[in-house]
Amino acid sequence: MSGILVFAEQREGKLKRSVLECLALARAVGAGAPVHAVLLGGGTASAALPAIASELGRHGASMVHLSDDASLAQPQAEGCVAQLAAACAAVGPELVLFSASAMGRDLAPRLAARLGAPFVSECLAFARSDGGYTARKAMYGGKVFANLEVAAADGGAPVVATIKPGAHSTSGAVEASGAPAAEDVTPLAVVATEVRARVTAVTQSGAAGVDLQEADIVVSGGRGLKGPEHFPLVEALAASLGAAVGASRAIVDAGWVPHHYQVGQTGVSVNPKLYIACGISGAIQHLAGMRSSGCIVAINKDPEAPIFKAADYGLVGDLFEILPLLTEEVRKVKESS
């Protein structure tokens, strides 16, 4: 048993940001053990795979196992799991990490079942313990946190886990040294597998614009906006910055915006470089989903609002005055540069 294996999810030739979080976590948990990445793709993504392999190396993968085949162009679970099982057989990892993306949620339990491995999903934190690993996850809709002890299976199967995107910083991965040497990118033979389900089309969800969990900048709105008719103030600032749009649960529950906008313990976790909270009080459940952001800016008229304790920069004032001014200034700067 050696090292930790990370599934390096890419979409259309672009590495998912949450993979860097898994690499950082693998480096922290592994404490020097080799970190292997499995990169699968084909078709139009093929040309981008070598660059992604280098990116993985720069972010902490000591070895990249690459399958480039037309059959992997549209990711479907049976083919991907066959490749992952082959990589596990070659590497013999003690731990396999997936991001808890739609794809990770699909592949990880299938791989665990195939390997007879213990599986833990949606981890917020993951650390080594005496008997194996301790995984922290939210339960009962985020009302309690559980620390689960996960022991390695008899017979040498690895522990398989999915990590909630945004729950772990990418900083440990960024410190890593240069790209992997050519010999560190190992072609994985394509495993012939009976594919019973095929992906015929991938349709974007209703969310327009930038993906919340992949964004470098997120602008979120809360109940301070007073009503759904004012949410365009948040969208305008986000558009000027090229940012994704998020929301507090209060306005999701009120039906102002769809559920997939919700940031927090029972929504999505985000980890952008810049998070701007507009009219959001900073309840603990909201902070749980954005506290690890690189820089937090809070706009709130109440100087005692808890969000200011988490913020790097705070603007105490009326968002109805601040947001249009800020949007205008950003536009001017963008136009002049």
Least CB distance from residue 224 to ligand FAD, whole Å? 3
Place of tokens 């039906």: 255
**Beta carbon of residue 144, minimum distance to ligand FAD (angstroms, whole number):** 9
Nearer to ligand FAD, 16 or 249 (CB): 249
C-alpha–C-alpha distance, residues 3 and 34, integer Å: 5
- Half-sphere exposure (Cβ direction) of 238: Cα atoms closer than 13 Å: 26
Of 252, 313, 307, 256, which Cα lies nearest the Cα of 279?
Answer: 307
307 with 323: CB under 8 angstroms? no
The minimum distance between CB 263 and ligand FAD, in angstroms, equals 6
Based on its alpha-carbon atoms, the radius of gyration of the chain, rounded to whole angstroms, reads: 21
Angle formed at CA 296 by CA 170 and CA 29, multiple of 5 degrees? 25
Least Å distance, CB 171 to ligand FAD, is 24
d(CA 188, CA 3): 18
- Give 98 or 256: the residue with its C-beta nearer to ligand FAD: 256
Nearest CB to ligand FAD, comparing residues 141 and 155: 141
Using the minimum distance from each CB to ligand FAD, give the nearer residue, 319 or 326. Answer: 319
**Nearest approach, Cβ of residue 273 and ligand FAD (Å):** 20
**CB nearer ligand FAD, residue 97 or residue 212:** 212
By beta-carbon distance, which residue lies closest to ligand FAD?
264
Nearer to ligand FAD (CB atom), residue 143 or residue 198: 143
Burial 167-182 (b: 16+ CB within 10 A, else e): bbbbebbeebeebbee
Q: Give how far the C-alpha of residue 224 lies from the chain's centroid of Cα atoms, to the nearest Å.
A: 28
CB of 289 to ligand FAD, least distance (A): 6
At its nearest, how many Å lie between ligand FAD and the CB of residue 165?
14
Cα distance between residue 296 and residue 280, in whole Å: 12
Give least dist CB 283 to ligand FAD, A. Answer: 4
CB 268 within 8 Å of CB 241: no
Q: Report the nearest approach of ligand FAD to the CB of residue 22 (Å).
A: 22
Is the Cβ of residue 14 or residue 145 nearer to ligand FAD in the bound state?
145
Q: How far apart are the C-alpha atoms of 227 and 254, rounded to whole Å?
A: 9
Which tokens go with 17?
A: 């940001």
Residues binding ligand FAD (CB under 6 A): 141-143, 222-224, 248-251, 262-267, 279-281, 283, 285-286, 289, 299-302, 305, 318-320
CB-nearer residue toward ligand FAD: 65 or 164: 164
Q: List alpha helices for the chain, DSSP H.
A: 17-30, 49-58, 77-91, 102-115, 171-174, 231-241, 249-253, 284-287, 307-310, 319-336
Closer to ligand FAD by Cβ: residue 117 or 290: 290
Q: Estimate to the nearest angstrom the gap between the alpha carbon of 301 and the chain centroid.
A: 32
